[in-house]
């Protein structure tokens, strides 16, 4: 029974990049009632990708330091 229950649960994004992809696909709840304009959401995603995900991906993860440089 627990396995069946787990199959019904949607997985969460594992990274900021995946979260931004999910937001790009599903943001109707944010534009309903003019909470945010769709153009704002699209631009925000572009800026977050440029300023944050690219900066994160350009640097080694602490685990990489430990794995490759810990002598």
> How far is residue 65's CA from residue 71's CA, in Å, rounded to a whole number?
10
Predicted local distance difference test score (pLDDT) of residue 22? 94
Predicted local distance difference test score (pLDDT) of residue 50? 92
Residues in the chain where the model's pLDDT stays below 70: 1, 71
**What 3-state DSSP class applies to 6?**
helix
Predicted local distance difference test score (pLDDT) of residue 41? 97
Token pair of 64 as six digits? 């990489």
Delimit the domains of the chain by residue range: 2-69
Predicted local distance difference test score (pLDDT) of residue 7? 78
């Amino acid at each position: 029974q627990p396995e069946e229950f787990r199959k019904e649960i949607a997985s969460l994004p594992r990274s900021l990049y995946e979260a931004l992809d999910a937001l790009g696909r599903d943001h109707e709840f944010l534009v309903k009632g003019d909470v945010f304009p769709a153009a704002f959401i699209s631009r925000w995603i572009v800026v977050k990708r440029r300023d944050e995900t690219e900066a994160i991906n350009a640097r080694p993860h602490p685990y990489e330091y430990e794995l490759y440089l810990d002598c």
